[in-house]
Structure 1
Amino acid sequence: MKRKKLIKILTDNGWWLLRYGVNHDIYTNGIKCEPIPRHREIDEMLAKAIIKRQRLE
């Protein structure tokens, strides 16, 4: 999955960028935090795990 697509899913569900990191960017919804890798292409299994773990659509 493209990183842009995963970030779009996060932002559409009320998540925002908390801070930049060296290897990951940290996104939050005010309660939970989720590190997102800074690769252009994110492994499909990892992307699905992030979406499932945070109960996103």
Structure 2
Amino acid sequence: MKRKAFIKTLETFGCTLKRSGSKHDIYINPANGCSTTIPRHQELANTLCKEILKQLGLKDQSS
């Protein structure tokens, strides 16, 4: 999955950018306070996207 498309998916769930690191961005889900890192690769593996959604406490609706 393209990174930009995945970020838009996170934003539709209400997640916001907490801060930017050198190689990763940290996103937070304000509804439950969970946060996780998103690597800055153009293409993200589907398994990684599912794991990120799980870490943020979101259901996987990408499939």
TM-score in terms of structure 2 length: 0.78
Equivalent residue number for residue 10 of structure 1: 10
1:55 partnered with 2:58: yes
Which residues of structure 2 form unaligned runs of 5+?
Answer: none
In structure 2, the residue matched to 1:42 is 44
Cα root mean square deviation, aligned: 1.2
Runs of 4+ that moved beyond 3 A: none
Q: Which has the higher contact order (CA 8 A, sep 6+)?
A: 1
Paired residues, number: 56
Q: Equivalent pairs: percent with the same residue?
A: 43
Q: TM-score, normalised by structure 1?
A: 0.84
SS for the counterpart of 1:14 is: coil
- Structure 1 residue runs of 5 or longer lacking an equivalent are none
